[in-house]
Structure formats: C-alpha cells, structure tokens
Structure 1
Amino acid sequence: MNRIPKTCFDFLKALKRNNNKDWMDANRAEYKRNEAALKAFYQDITDGLNTNDVIERTKVFRINRDIRFSKDKTPYNVHRSVSFSREGAHRRGGYYLRIEPGASAMAGGFWGPEPADLLRIRKEFEFDAEPIRKILAEPKFKEAFGGLNTEYQVKTAPKGFSKDDPNIDLIKNKAFFVVHPFTDKEVLAPDFGENVLYHFELLRPYFDYMSEVLTTDLNGESLL
C-alpha cells in the first residue's frame, strides 16, 4: 500500500507556523505533491474497504477553512481529513480519517443523526440495549475504542425518556461514534494503511447492528 510521506507532516507543521495565503502561495507546489500522495493512500484505503464493504464516495475535505462565522480567521486547516461513505440505504455509518501531526485519528459511526434516526436509536436502547452493549464489550473493539464517544450528550434525559432508565448512559448521546488515535510514528510506518483498515473493519459488527436498527421499526419490520 502507499504510505503517508513524512513531507506531508513537515508541510502541515510549517503551515501551522505560517497559516496565511502568502506562505501557501509560495509553497503550493509542495502542497500539491503531498495531496497527490495522500489521495493515492486514500484510494488504497477505499480499495481495502471495498473488499468487505461497498463504498459509494470518498470525500477529501478542503484545506481551506470556512471563516465566515469564526473568530479564528486563519485561512487553512492544519490537518488533512477524508471520509468514506457506504453505499445504499441499508448500509448505515461512515468511516473517517484525520492526518495531523500529534493528533491523527480514525473514527466511525453516526455524527449527526437526523431527528427520526436519533429517536429510533434511543428507542432501541430503551427497549433492549443488550446487543449494543455486547458489541461495545467485545475485547478487540473495547481495546481499540474504549466505548462510544460521550462528548455530545444531553445533560439529563432526552424528552420522553426517564433519567432513571438503566440505559440512560447510552440514551443521552446525541451522536454515536468511536475514535482511535494514531501516533505520528504509526502514521509514518509502512503498515499504516493496514492499521487503518484493521480499525475500520472492527466497526463492521457495530455498523451491521445499527443498520438493522435504522432500517426496521421496534417490531423488527423493514422500513425499506
């Protein structure tokens, strides 16, 4: 598989120190060389995912920041990010990869479920949380991710749910995703692509379960 070149990290570190248009214009040729290497790596990840999944779209996020409503007016992101979208209404969940010196990570799951999907997930956890808890407790999954990210939660209980529900720890979530960080050494290692794919593949039982939840009602009847 293609590798993440060290020049990519060198460029992002320099960009962090010189986050302005003049510097970018002067170093645009280096930026384009690194982007070409990154896109080759992303294609390898897409191909790897497609051996056991079906990827509809690989989206490379722009390096330009949207600064219209931000107090931070620096024009460029100092990381490179890509997402991999699964094909079809019956395949739910998404893969994400972030390359940044000192802060690289992969993630996967459901970042901003639509209100109907969010309610459906919460209702499922209220009805029967044993399947999701079994997935989260699987040793390799737990070692890699720890558990669901809890950064985005309501403070007590969502409307219509009891704060005393035994599964309120799951129900309070507004997003349902996991994260695994990578060290700089791991990112620059020859086997980084395989490392990323290994962690993405750990998500499949979770995705399969959540896909079933989101394509059926509480009686298990298909909504598709």
Structure 2
Amino acid sequence: MFDTLIPDAQTFVRALARDNTRDWFLAHKADYDAKLRAPALALLDALTPKLAKLSDCKVTPKLFRANRDVRFSKDKTPYKTHLHMMWTIETGTRQNPVMFFGVDPDSVTVGTGMMEFSKEVLTDWRKMVDLDGAYIAQKLKLVTDKGYAPWEPKLKRVPSPFDKDHAHGDLLRHKGLVVTGTPALTGDLVADLDAAFADLWPLSDMLIGVAETPTL
C-alpha cells in the first residue's frame, strides 16, 4: 500500500499545481482518495503505535486537509500542492511536540518540534538556554549530526534582557524549535519513518522537558 504513496502523491500534486481549481480537483478526487488519502491514513495508523512506544505517550495522528484556508490569504488557489501528515505526542505537559511527514512535488520531509512556543514555554525555554544552553545545544547536535537541520530562528536579534553576545544567542532567537530533513528511503516507508523518528526523538524529548511545569 505504501510502495507507491510518494510517487503517486508527487504526480498528483504536480498536476494540481498546473491547474489548481475546484473543477480539476473534483474531476480527480477519486484518485486523491484512493492513491493519497487512503494510504496516508493507513500510514498514520501504522506509525501511531510505534511512536507511542517510542515516547511512552498517547499519540494522535492527523492528515491535513487538501483544502487551503484562503480567508486571510492573498493566494486564493483552493488546494494545497503537498500531502502532509502529523503525529502529536500527548505528553500532558504545557505543550506537545509533534512528528511530521510531508510529500511535496519534488521532495519528502520528516521532522519534529514545536512550531511556536506558548508564552509560558517560551519564557522557560529562554531560562533554560541561559542557564544550560550547552545541554540544549548537545541535544540539537545529536539530531543535526544525523543530517537534520533546524528552521531559521524567528528573531534577528537576541531578545532582551540577554546579552547580544550570549554564548547561545542563536538558540535564544528561536520562538519555537523545529528540525527537518529528508528520510533515508529503502522501500519500506513504515520502517524508514520509524527509524527517522527514532533519530529525531532526542530533540522531542528535550522539548518535553522544557514544556513540563516547573516544580516550586
């Protein structure tokens, strides 16, 4: 079922990008349902128990809808030209990390992180970076050494009240932390993503620690 998911998805979204209209999508919806949606849902289900075992947490899978929310966008094309799915690690902390997998027209991506820290978690992230940035940097290095890369920080400057020359100013400039990369694909997509998520887990685990409510 998963052997053709990536090429089928890429073929579909490339064609959709050439004619991103409701008429085209509805004319090809049977292909979307059979070749993209059904195997993507099955992939989500196949990886959920593996992630639950890895994290020792409940995991909630999600397939993102094909429809774009165009209400507040200048781009009024109605459909997304990618297939993206996500697993939320339900940690019981103040904020949950996610694992995700996406198929774009010319690439596939796997990653983990917290897209944007909540106000409380951001405050504690900055405290932890200030107090023990070496620990966070070491956890991040475990993942980057595997070929993954963090998204660029949102802030151009180190936020106050921290020194602009702070030893871990690059980490302080993040308002969330996400790392992504290309998984090694051997032909067994479930095994390949399972291995990728294991490689990414040290970062997720570190973020769970940041999101835990501090003890008084």
Same fold per superposition (TM over 0.5):
yes
* Identical residues among aligned pairs (%): 26
Is the Cα contact below 8 Å between 1:92 and 1:207 reproduced in 2?
Answer: no
Amino acid at match of 1:82: M
How far apart are residue 197 of structure 1 and its match?
A: 1.6
Is 1:82 the equivalent of 2:85?
A: yes
Is 1:214 the equivalent of 2:207?
A: no
Is the Cα contact below 8 Å between 1:93 and 1:211 reproduced in 2?
Answer: yes
Name the structure 2 match of 1:157.
158
Q: Following superposition, which runs of at least 4 residues in structure 1 exceed 3 angstroms of deviation?
A: 1-4
Q: Given the two structures, how large is their TM-score scaled by the length of structure 2?
A: 0.88
Matches within 5 A, 1:101-120: 101-120=105-124
Distance 1:72 1:182, change over 3 A: farther
- Measure the CA separation in 2 of the matches of 1:214 and 1:154: 21
Q: C-alpha offsets along residues 172-212 of structure 1, whole Å, 9 cap, x if unaligned?
A: 111211011358xx4xx522222222121122222222222
Q: Given the two structures, how large is their TM-score scaled by the length of structure 1?
A: 0.85
Is the Cα contact below 8 Å between 1:4 and 1:38 reproduced in 2?
Answer: no
Matches within 5 A, 1:133-212: 133-138=137-142, 141-146=144-149, 148-150=150-152, 152-182=153-183, 186=185, 190-212=187-209
Is the Cα contact below 8 Å between 2:66 and 2:79 reproduced in 1?
Answer: yes
Q: C-alpha offsets along residues 60-102 of structure 1, whole Å, 9 cap, x if unaligned?
A: 1110011112121111001111110112324841111111221
Is 1:72 the equivalent of 2:75?
A: yes
- Measure the CA separation in 1 of the matches of 2:202 and 2:188: 24
Is 1:13 the equivalent of 2:9?
A: no
Structure 2 runs not aligned, ≥5 long: none
Is 1:130 the equivalent of 2:163?
A: no
How far apart are residue 4 of structure 1 and its match?
A: 4.2
Name the structure 1 match of 2:25.
24
- Measure the CA separation in 2 of the matches of 1:182 and 1:51: 20
What RMSD over aligned residues (CA atoms) do the two structures have, in Å? 2.1
